Structure 1
């Protein structure tokens, strides 16, 4: 008799890798897999019920994103966010975002303003829903608009390279505040300045916006030990 059953195709390798990446990324950002935790291939392949091929590809992607690191003679681990990392992210983001607004300032139009407002509303929706992972992605999209609008390819590349570390930064920042996502009104003054006539006011807002987040995250990181149990680098106490 001829087999008339439904033929089930195998899940494409790329789709499987993307699925593993998403689950690992979510677990890292939620703190379920803590900073510094080892990522052992045998344990992970059993946990996700997958072969090591797509798992290794997923880990390589997370290494490129900055969420995972490979330490010589030690193995693959979840990246840890040091005090120095926070200060470097703060200083670099301040410069990059200021430069991005300088590029678009005279070209802001109704579409730019409407899109910035839409992205902020999308961010607020994730905050109201208590979806921390979604709020991190939505905040990346919110801040990413000015880079997209700049049309500056090297600037966009630099922003893309920061995204992984920013996800760790914001996850730590949210835990520092003890909440699921940023405050609902955390970007109100940012939007007012972005819509306003004074670029110097925008630059001042960017610096202040970054500083507030950096100081809170700095205090949070100094209060917890590294995976080795030692104080974090940069802690002078």
Structure 2
């Protein structure tokens, strides 16, 4: 007796292949499987990913636009290097955007929203305790920091955060690698969460700025011998 599927299966189109190729390349870059400054070739990437050159070129163009790859005319394709200026720019922009997100979301906090933030924090701690999946810990750290953006209900602000997420992921990976651990320290977000659920926006904003400044300084110090000028 045959099985009749109600869903018509279609071959993957170039757009789907491009998205998958871009996702795989992104994961390899942000997880450090390619060294900063490493030269890549389309031929080797196409063979390794088992994709055709057309969709691969589109994926490469997408990653070059967000800064994970650098295409140098007549020289080739390179994995982005990290400079002190890169980290400082990411810190300053992220601090400004996340501060604005808290200003926008502060009056929108409900009991349900506060419970959601605490659940995100608990899930992150559970992953840290398991000590088995650094990628999952970083994703949950991003999920925790996404809370204020989602709650702000500001569509352009949310788009700005989404466009920056890959670079923040890359920064988190560098930060954790510099300190030889899979993810953040278990208690590193406790004060952040408590203040986000508290009654003082000025205290939240002051802590946010200090929280990010400390992270930037410790990362720059730990990577001082590896950062490009």
Report SS of the residue matched to 1:222. Answer: coil
Please name the residue that 2:107 is paired with.
106
Query: Conserved in 1, the CA contact under 8 Å of 2:69 and 2:79?
Result: yes
Gaps of 5+ in 1: 1-7, 226-231
Please name the residue that 1:153 is paired with.
155
- Residues 191-202 of structure 1: pairs in structure 2 closer than 5 A: 191-202=193-204
Q: TM-score, normalised on structure 1?
A: 0.85
Query: Conserved in 2, the CA contact under 8 Å of 1:36 and 1:79?
Result: yes
The question of 1:139 aligning with 2:141 is answered: yes
Query: Conserved in 2, the CA contact under 8 Å of 1:82 and 1:221?
Result: no
The question of 1:203 aligning with 2:229 is answered: no
CA 1:173–1:63: 2 relative to 1, 3 Å:
same
Give the Å deviation of 1:139: 1.7
CA 1:108–1:57: 2 relative to 1, 3 Å:
same
The question of 1:171 aligning with 2:173 is answered: yes
User: CA offsets, 1:64-118, max 9 Å, x none?
Assistant: 3332222333322211221011111112222211111111112211121122122
Give the Å deviation of 1:129: 4.2
Gaps of 5+ in 2: 1-8
Query: Conserved in 1, the CA contact under 8 Å of 2:124 and 2:140?
Result: yes
Please name the residue that 2:4 is paired with.
none
Give the Å deviation of 1:153: 2.4
User: CA offsets, 1:169-207, max 9 Å, x none?
Assistant: 111101111011111211111000001111111011101
Q: Runs of at least 4 residues of structure 1 off by over 4 A?
A: none
Query: Conserved in 1, the CA contact under 8 Å of 2:31 and 2:170?
Result: no
Report SS of the residue matched to 2:74. Answer: coil
CA 1:134–1:56: 2 relative to 1, 3 Å:
farther
Q: TM-score, normalised on structure 2?
A: 0.88
Please name the residue that 1:75 is paired with.
76
How many Å separate the matches in 1 of 2:127 and 2:14? 30
How many Å separate the matches in 1 of 2:177 and 2:105? 33
How many Å separate the matches in 1 of 2:165 and 2:149? 12
CA 1:126–1:19: 2 relative to 1, 3 Å:
farther
Query: Conserved in 2, the CA contact under 8 Å of 1:94 and 1:206?
Result: yes
Bigger mean CA deviation after superposition, 19-28 or 89-98: 19-28
- Residues 22-171 of structure 1: pairs in structure 2 closer than 5 A: 22-127=23-128, 128-171=130-173
